[in-house]
Amino acid sequence: MPKTSSYNKTVLPGGIRVVSERIPGVRSVSLGIWVIVGSRFETAAENGLSHFIEHMAFKGTQTRSALDIARSIEQGGGLVNAFTGKEMTCYYVHVIDERMPLALDILADVMRDSVFDPGEIEKEKQVILDEIRDHEDMPDDVCHERFIRELFGKHPIARPILGPPRNVKGFTRDDLIRYIDKHYLPSRIVVAAAGNLQHRALTRMVEDKLGFAKRGKAVKSERIGKLTRKLRRFPRPIQQAHMVMGTRGLPYGSLDRFTMSVMNTVLGGGMSSRLFQNIREKHGVCYSIYSFTDSMADTGAVGVYLATDRERVDKARKLVLKEFEALRETPLTKAEIDGVKTQLKGNIMLGLENVSNRMMRLGRMEIYLGRYHSLEDVSRQIDVVTPAKVQKLARQLWTADRMVTTIVEPERKRKSAQPARRT
């Protein structure tokens, strides 16, 4: 991307924040309307509502049908979509620059004037129930979800984003409207855009289309409880065992976040990582293995995933623990940390070649940090990571009393009764 890209931010009178990055030389715009609401803000009875609303938003407004919404964007070669997470919901489009006003008008229409037709609600329940069943058919997804459940216990973060089927089946139009009135507040909305655009013009359009009146108060999230060591096994009718080992990670705004990124890249960030080379290549214990990090406002998750034969799970687990020990006990060499820093910065640069990735980065930075970090800022923060910092963080995270392990494994066959022997 050109170095001449420019960042701007405006806070509208009602509280909506508009952030943009102008990128000369491209002919497209990626635009997202972010709402700071997700499954962690739901009660047990509401679990799944954030995701359900995201689905229903595109099912028709006062002036556009669901087909009109899709066709208006796609006929110009664009994309319209949305996603729901633990802490945010995002409605976004990627269009050629001249169609940005239309795209914003459609997103604003979706946000403000969705009709939530009761008949469409009943149909969408079946769609989401199918989505839940699809998820349940993917043991790696199930393993990750069980890991988060064990990691956060009774806290709302532990609940599934899709919600349980019994909740989905019972949602009504009134439930959706009440939830929107409670959570879709101007102070919790961020409009992020990247591409060939003018910030002043974008701000005027947002103010015109999304001029929400001030409503309600933001809902505070519950305090997260103490973490304890756990190992849980979940038998299922599958062929291969799936395992996640990890612990709570760092918040998005942590000063050690880039140290964690370096550590994660060393541990399991690609084919040259320690996990891949030592556990897959050297020992041949598994086919799929990687490490991961996920940061939220006040906490996070960090861990290792692998899939292997049921009989080799315990061996694989011991080998992963050995890698954690190596990070705790032995500092990275200069050559290793320098190579990882180059890899990490290269990954970030390649990701920012994509206009949509730029918009996603803008939205998350504004929500979690309230400020913008340029590529140069990020590069500097990566450069100051040292072997000592990585080792200190490894000693903080990878301890036995903080380790949570979930294993989704094949059911063991029951021994059938022996037939009576004839005499």
Give yes or no for residue 45 having a pLDDT over 80.
yes
- Rounded distance, CA 95 to CA 405, Å? 43
CB-CB contact of 107 with 91 (8 Å): yes
List, by residue number, the catalytic residues: 54
Give me the torsion for CA of 59, 63, 68, 74, rounded to 10°.
Answer: -100
- The position carrying tokens 């890899």 is 343
Look at the pTM and tell me if it is higher than 0.85: yes
- pLDDT tens track for 232-287: 999 999 999 999 999 999 999 999 999 999 999 999 999 999 999 999 999 999 99
Q: In the 3-class helix/strand/coil scheme, how is the chain assigned residue by residue?
A: CCCCCEEEEEECCCCCEEEEEECCCCCEEEEEEEECCCHHHCCCCCCCHHHHHHHHCCCCECCCCHHHHHHHHHCCCCEEEEEECCCCEEEEEEEEHHHHHHHHHHHHHHHHHECCCHHHHHHHHHHHHHHHHHHHCCHHHHHHHHHHHHHHCCCHHHCCCCCCHHHHHHCCHHHHHHHHHHHCCHHHEEEEEEECCCHHHHHHHHHHHCCCCCCCCCCCCCCCCCCCCEEEEEEECCCCEEEEEEEECCCCCCCCHHHHHHHHHHHHCCCCCHHHHHHHHHCCCCCEEEEEEEECCCCEEEEEEEEECHHHHHHHHHHHHHHHHHHHHCCCCHHHHHHHHHHHHHHHHHHCCCHHHHHHHHHHHHHHCCCCCCHHHHHHHHHCCCHHHHHHHHHHHCCHHHCEEEEEEECCCCCCCCCCCCC
Distances (CA, A) of 75 to 31, 61, 111: 17, 19, 21
pLDDT confidence band for 336 (50 / 70 / 90): very high
pLDDT confidence band for 225 (50 / 70 / 90): confident
pLDDT of residue 2: 45
* Mean pLDDT to the nearest integer, 366-379: 95
pLDDT of residue 215: 58
Cα dihedral 52, 55, 57, 63 sign: negative
Give yes or no for residue 309 having a pLDDT over 70.
yes
Distances (CA, A) of 59 to 70, 95, 272: 10, 20, 45
pLDDT of residue 217: 63
Q: Which of 280-289, 315-324, 407-416 is least confident?
A: 407-416
pLDDT of residue 216: 55
Instruction: Give phi and psi for 14, each to the nearest 5.
Output: -75, -15
Q: Which of 24-38, 198-212, 351-365 is least confident?
A: 198-212
- Tally of CB atoms within 10 A around 420: 6
| C-alpha angle 185-189-195 in degrees, rounded to nearest 5 | 160
